[in-house]
Chains A and B, each alone.
Chain A
Amino acid sequence: MKIAVASGKGGTGKTTVATNLAYVGSANGRSIAYLDCDVEEPNGSLFLKPEFGAASSAGILVPKVDESKCDLCGACGEICRFSAIAPVGRTVLVFNELCHGCGGCRLVCPTGAIEEVLHEIGVVRIGSVGSIAFVDGLLNVGQAMSPPVIKAVKAAAPAAEITIIDCPPGTSCPVIESLRGCDYLLLVTEPTPFGLNDLKLAAAMAREMRLPFGVVVNRAGLGDRHTDMYCDENDIEILVEIPDDRKIAEVYSRGQIVSEAIADYRRVFETLLAKIEFIAS
């Protein structure tokens, strides 16, 4: 079963929920695969502290022009919608950062002057801790497009009883790429106006993708009742509430797993995992 943890708004507690689910699942003897798909700012490893083995390059295929074969006809520049390749003067310029890797230029080149080579935009690391197999990705700083690195993280995932996918914030392409193929989506929110606004966007995204989903209200008691009311009116199930407890924030700040550091909270995440497994099966 593949459970994705997402949120719309950043900083609502995705990584806290995802790492704690992995921790309680593993402590109860399940095989877990943890995929950190927030490749712009991956934090899962700071909490689960896996030992990393191999790291591999992730990237996209970009064109490389053999100038001895190129007759400067311009077909490559015409098909490219991303202005990533253009004949200029007596040469062809390629802008790797703009290329989406569609391969169109190679296909249209009449002289076969274009081959495709891998352009690294990030790395994927594979590791483990106890019965948790851990994979994360790191987008290289300065690179704009994270989806190919996310795709590589997911491709490197080992099989497990429970796969937990820690998603990036937002509702656009990096999140969509992370959610693809998951069985259940957990939306983590906080009961504040910002949290609710972004929960509505995330719920709309889940419906657009036809994914079954439920909500975790983090820092419950912090704000107002509008989040509960919204979920109630829209038939969205709140699976658990995590109270607004300064102790949790302090434990988190030190890189500790809440379920491990504060025994009372272990049950909250065990309940959450049990509910998801019941709903998704």
Chain B
Amino acid sequence: MKELVVISGKGGTGKTSLVASFAVLSSTAVLADCDVDAADLHLVLAPNVVETCEFSGGLRASIAPDLCTACGKCRQLCRFDAVCDDAGGPRIDPIACEGCGVCARFCDAGAIKMTPAVNGQWFVSETRCGPMVHARLGIAESNSGKLVSVVRDEARRIAEDRGCDLVIIDGSPGIGCPVIASIGGADLVLVVAEPTVSGVHDLQRVAELIAHFGLRGAVCVNKWDINEEIAARIQIRAEELGLIFAGRIRYDRTVTEAQIAGLSVVEYSANGVAAETRSLWRNVGALLNTAGTTRNNTK
């Protein structure tokens, strides 16, 4: 079983639209939406939820007002400015609390309790393209990296159970904790880049991240005709950064029309942008196959 992760560094370059097309083209993959704080893949794949689970990534402090003496020690010790003053006395700001438990450990009155925080939910679903695992991080919640790990582990488990040969992961933008949690140990990381000065800058940092974790990376340029010169530069730069150039897709409003119709691009259209997506998928498929060979050889 192989794992393909699609990320981008910069947001909004077309990760999710591409993953939806890949889901249709692969037909035997398990899908994992690891962009847990702004998940969108469900809008195209219309999953039927079969299982819902609560996610708790850590603890959260709360102060019992009847026991609290308002001595101020918790506020003094808290590094996260999570103790604020209300008319009724000190209170924990649940958004700021990291759940470290220092306040509870040092409260002389024993007024602070640590309880598991519910940070979100995750779902196992069926879609027209196969099983899908997805999640919703609660609004203004933390622990997104842990939730990503839960989603990924579950997708892998389902793939093993059902004998699926591929897990396709829709990642999140950036290079921080949810991205790190989504790429570790993957067989191939595909970066979707756009031909803009921001796109080039962000690709550089994502490439460094892929190298940092010793992973195999590829890059595709989306909307290449917005700036052909930068698109060409990305192709050269990618190879200097140790990434394999996997293809390019033109700018086309068909992509938005497909999204509005609730379809992937390859279901909605047959030519132009859809043909380029199919060709990209063939290249990615070939890279995934050689990833397996390399791994077997080294074993």
A residues at B contact (CB < 8 Å): 7-12, 15, 38, 40-41, 43, 46-47, 61, 79, 81-82, 100-104, 107-108, 139, 141-146, 168-174, 176, 192-194, 197-198, 201, 204-205, 208-209, 222-224, 246, 249-250, 252-255
In the assembled complex, the Cα of A41 lies from the Cα of B198 at a distance in Å of: 9
CB contacts (< 8 Å) of A43 on chain B: these are 10, 197-198, 201-202
Given A11-B11, A102-B102, A208-B176 contact (CB < 8 Å): no
Q: Provide a sorted-by-A list of 9 A–B residue pairs whose CB atoms are within 8 angstroms.
A: A107-B102, A142-B213, A170-B37, A194-B16, A201-B38, A224-B260, A250-B227, A254-B227, A255-B198
Contacts of A144 in B (CB 8 A): 145, 176-177, 180-181
Select which of A11, A81, A171, A201 is within 8 A of B59 by beta carbon: A81
Summarize A's interface: helix, strand, loop or mixed. Answer: loop
- Interface stretch, picked from B155-163, B167-175, B265-273, B280-288, is B167-175
**B contact residues around A209 at 8 Å (CB):** 95, 140
B12 within 8 A of A: yes
Contact of A103 among B12, B16, B77, B205 (CB under 8 A): B77
Per-residue contact bits, chain B 38-52, to A (CB 8 Å; 1 contact, 0 not) = 101001000000000
Q: Is the CB of A41 within 8 A of B10?
A: yes
Is B40 within 8 A of A253, CB to CB? no
Give the residues from 125 to 158 in chain B that come closer than 8 angstroms, CB to CB, to chain A.
137, 139-142, 144-145
Q: How far is the CA of A168 from the CA of B227 in the complex (A)?
A: 24
Tally of chain B residues near chain A (CB < 8 A): 63
Q: Given A146-B176, A193-B260, A252-B196, are A141 and B40 neighbors across the interface (CB < 8 Å)?
A: no
Q: A142-B209, A194-B16, A249-B251 are in contact. List 16 more A-B contacts (CB 8 A).
A: A12-B11, A12-B12, A41-B10, A43-B198, A102-B100, A104-B101, A144-B145, A144-B181, A168-B174, A173-B141, A176-B95, A193-B40, A208-B139, A209-B95, A246-B226, A254-B227
B-chain residues with CB within 8 Å of residue A172 when the two chains form the complex = 37, 137, 140-142, 144
Pair A9/B38 contact, Cβ less than 8 Å: yes
B5 CB to closest chain A CB (Å) equals 16
Chain B residue with Cβ nearest A39: B176
- Give chain B nearest CB distance to A60 CB in angstroms: 9
B212 contacts which chain A residues (CB < 8 A)? 141-142
Across the A-B interface, the 3 shortest Cβ-Cβ residue pairs: A10-B11, A11-B12, A102-B100
Q: In the complex, which of the residues B40, B106, B202 has the most CB atoms of chain A within 10 Å of its own CB atom?
A: B40
For A41, give its contact among B98, B106, B175, B181 (CB under 8 Å).
B175
Q: Is B175 within 8 A of A139, CB to CB? A: yes
Q: Do A145 and B105 touch across chains, with their CB atoms under 8 A apart?
A: no
Given contacts A46-B197, A171-B140, A223-B256, contact A10 B102 (CB under 8 A): no
Closest to B11 in A: A10
Which chain A residue lies CB-closest to B253? A222
B175 touches A40 (CB 8 A): yes
Contact A169 B11 (CB under 8 A): yes
Contact status B43-A81, CB under 8 Å: no
CA distance in complex: A102, B262 (Å): 45
Residue of B99, B139, B253 with highest tally of chain A CB at under 10 A: B139
Q: Check B21 for interface membership: any CB of A closer than 8 A.
A: no
Q: Which residues on B sit within 8 Å (CB–CB) of A253? A: 194-197, 199, 226-227, 230
| Docked pose: A173 CA to B213 CA in angstroms | 24
Q: How far is the CB of B199 from chain A (nearest CB, A)?
A: 8
Report how far A46 CA is from B205 CA in the complex, Å.
Answer: 15
Q: Is the CB of B10 within 8 A of A11?
A: yes
Contacts of B9 in A (CB 8 A): 40-41
Query: In the complex, which residue of chain A has the Cβ closest to the Cβ of B207?
Result: A141
Q: Which residues of B contact A223 (CB under 8 A)?
A: 256, 259-260
- B100 CB to closest chain A CB (Å) equals 4
The answer to whether B208 has its CB under 8 Å from any CB of chain A is: yes
Docked complex: B204-245 residues within 8 A CB-CB of A: 205, 208-209, 212-213, 223, 226-227, 230
**B231: nearest residue on chain A (CB-CB)?**
A253
In the bound complex, CA of A43 to CA of B177 (Å): 19
Which of A79, A100, A172, A253 has the largest number of chain B CB atoms within 10 A? A172
Q: How far is the CB of B56 from chain A (nearest CB, A)?
A: 13
Q: CB distance B102 to A9 under 8 Å?
A: no
The residue of chain B having its C-beta at the shortest distance from the C-beta of A256 within the complex is B197
> Which B residues are in CB contact (< 8 Å) with A146?
174, 176-177
Question: Which residues of chain A come closer than 8 Å to B105, judged between CB atoms?
Answer: 79, 104, 107-108
From the candidates B176, B202, B223, name the one contacting A174 in the complex (CB within 8 A): B176
